[in-house]
Chain A
Amino acid sequence: MARVVDSVELAGARLLPAEPRRRSAAARFIRRQPLGAAGMVLMVALLATALLADVLATHDPVRTSSHVLVAPGAEFWLGTDNLGRDLYSRVVHGARISLVIGIASTLLGAVLGGLIGLVSGYVGGTTDLLSQRVMDIMQALPILILALVLAASLGPSLPNAIVAISIPIVPRAARLIRASVLAIRELAYVEAARALGVRHPRVALRHILPNTIGPFIVLITAQLGGSILVEAALSFLGLGIPEPYPSWGRMLSIAAAEYAEKAPWLVIWPGLAISLAVFGTNLLGDALRDTLDPRLRGS
């Protein structure tokens, strides 16, 4: 925080420290945080797979065939499932699904929660008290259970799954942003801005919000992995994304119930995909946290 205050000037100055030239910052990042760089690579790979799924896949992921439960080979790189669908193509397209759901639900939850936290922290008083209690209530339940009940209530569909997974993120985002806001609100330069007559919303948006971006980014990267895992668990339990979307979690659920012994590739590859994707987000999230806010290191 000291860093921010030092560099501030009273009227409409830049609030983030003057950035050294981009290239050396990135190079420094890689040197200082090799794990984070590895995470970045994984994330980029995930993104690329999701975007280029149509190109990378060898078959139509939903096209059934008579080649059921074929072991990995020349034609079907990772084998086929019980309906003769190519596992490799399904895993590749699964990246798209996981990323879409992960990003959508994380952003939805984080933005919603962030707004609540911003308002709650800034306004204070009864609003704060009330919203805090609501956030406590939402956080009282384990994430999976809340998502489970939501998904069951809303029914299996893509938008419903996104909502179900985003809701548990809201209180966590709200709490984080609120803490940030509370810390910044008391600072001298904000009081000064108010004294100069800057109106509340402007203060909130121009002075406070930009300083919460650091923790916000850390939150999003961390929760992205969590969202992917929750979606996988929901689909595994049969309550997540419906057919024919090739969700990694769903692929594991069917495999688990039926063919684990006969076709172990059905268990290994989708699970590995989930793990690598989440691993990447966690590595990157860790590194970002270390860089953007050393106080939160390791927490």
Chain B
Amino acid sequence: MPLRRSVRSVRLAPVALLLVLALCVPVPAQTPKSGGVLAIHPLSAPPSLSPHEESTIATVQPASACYNNLVYFDPARKQESESSIIPELAERWSWQDGHRNLVFLLRKDVKWHDGKPFTSQDVKYTFDAVRGAPDAAAKLRVNPRKLWYENVEHIEAPDSHTVIFRLKRPQPSLLLMLASGYSPVYPAHVPLAELKTKCVGTGPYKLKDYRPGEFIEFVRNPDYFVKGRPYLDGIKWVIIKDRSTQIAALQAGQLDVAGSGWNKANAETAKKGKPALVVQESDSNVNVNVLVNFKKAPLTDARVRRAVNLALDRKAFKEGPMLGAATFGGAMLPRPAGVWGLPAAEVATLPGMGDAAKQKAEARKLLADAGFGPANPLKLTVSTRAVAIYVDPASWMVDQLRQIGIEAVLEQIETGVWHPKMTRLDFQVALNLTGIGIDDPDANFFENFKCGSQRNFSGYCSEEIDRLMTQQSETLDRAARLKLVNEIDRRLQLEGARPVLGWQKQWAVHWRHVKAYPQHENSIYNVTRFQDVWLDK
């Protein structure tokens, strides 16, 4: 008897052992398969295929497949920062002279899509044009990011595979700017005008067909310098204007990925119809903000500006126009998604964040102090772009202002007239959306808050803040820099330089067979190279 029992237990033991072993051994990661065409839609029809001449993600999305940067943000790491920068056209780089010179050592095995070899001349050509150098070989017809490279004194190409950026003062942020989707390297041998309608790059995909307003089709680049990549045979960016058509197309399987420009309701609708869909939600570094014209009466009065700021109940904004999906913060993307945001405890004390009734009462009082009231109501025009994603929050804003006795009306401005009007400061208050290219103070502050900047649509000017901006830009120590950045942010919020109503979220909704689809939590602009995406079909 005892023998038989021990025989039974002996026979069980190997099985148990195998089971334990099986559980301990990690399941091998799926091997990416090659093949397939990814069908996806951009935010809207791109005005051109040239990222250096546009400021809209609609261009960066498709064009990223075709180009490379010197360096790029690692698609696989959710938070973009200095530590997530990986080499692309540059193999190695190094800061010299206390962050005054940035040296890149370039790859030697890269070819443009038309077969010509890539050299340092292409880099010099591109960034001389972008920074508007007086001796640049080419001039961009329209140059939105000239300001990013203001600090570059000279670009040298001492040999065919070395480039040196010589700066006027230290600026660690330059490396991040070069990693942005807005900073691809252009070929020196192709005229700039041609790059608006065709794409000659070094990237993982070549442009196959571009039908404006219809689609942009890319095909795999067999000579790509990263061996074994890309996995996909091609990408098709299908332009669909209607949100509900985008949703329906995804559900019907005509799109593999969708979600650019979606809000929470859209993502929920898509998932509800087809529960097999995967929803990736994260922060986006796009905020809804209010432009207050510092130079136009009665907004020249700080009390009026503060009253307007206090009247806008941020929590109601989140529940209403944002459908419950938003985060709160100052001028820099709030943590944890953002690297430079104000601490949460401080954010909670910003105007508009507290008790709505109390703040509205305070706003009324401020208006009364400034001489406005039921007998003499303040008349304000809220301007915004004549596009649904602007008009909805603007309508909400008009309503909030009315609740404190301001006679607010909405004015819709058409495309083509919006930016000129804003630049001319021809408005009182405006509701605006700002997408920040990279999560970096240099990319945000100088453009939007520096005295006299073309995109400083508020007419806000403070020499003290300008000085602090430059100081933080030169600061190498991360902790010290963070303190400076927060200080600037704090002051901007106190003075209501550009009150932020909320930071938007982003959604990417796709089928399960789409693997390794990248999404970054502090930017929307730097992920669409799709070099590592593959389809499990």
Contacts and interface: CB of A to CB of B under 8 A. Distances in A.
Q: Do chains A and B touch in the complex (CB under 8 A)?
A: yes
Contacts of B263: 258
Contact of A64 (B248, B320, B386, B414): B320
Chain B interface size, as a band, is 20 to 34
Nearest to A242: B412
Interface string A265-281: 00000000000000000
B322 to A, nearest CB: 10
B372 interface: no
B244 A256 contact: yes
A257 interface: yes
A21 interface: no
A186 interface: no
Given A62-B395, A83-B321, A83-B395, A243 B412 contact: yes
Interface in A52-77: 62-66, 68-69
B417 to A, nearest CB: 8
Interface stretch (B17-25, B101-109, B265-273): B265-273
Interface string B382-393: 000010100110
Given A256-B244, A258-B243, A261-B248, A64 B265 contact: no
- Could you tell me the dominant secondary structure of chain A's interface residues? loop
Contacts, number: 72
Nearest to A254: B388
A82 interface: yes
Interface string A228-262: 00000000001000111000000000101111111
A69 B319 CA distance: 12
A66 B399 CA distance: 12
Contacts of A68: 265, 320, 323
Nearest to B399: A64
A65 B319 CA distance: 9
A244 B265 contact: no
B318 to A, nearest CB: 9
Contacts of A261: 244, 247-248, 269, 273
Nearest to A258: B243
Contact of B316 (A63, A66, A244): A66
Contacts of A259: 243-244, 265, 269
A175 B263 CA distance: 51
A243 B395 contact: yes
Contact of A62 (B269, B273, B386, B399): B399
A185 B460 CA distance: 70
A155 B242 contact: no
A258 B410 CA distance: 21
A69 B395 contact: no
A214 interface: no
Shortest Cβ-Cβ A-B pairs, 10 listed: A260-B244, A66-B319, A242-B412, A262-B269, A258-B243, A64-B396, A64-B399, A243-B410, A257-B243, A66-B320
6 contacts: A64-B320, A64-B396, A242-B386, A244-B395, A257-B243, A258-B388
Interface of A: 62-66, 68-69, 82-84, 155-156, 238, 242-244, 254, 256-262
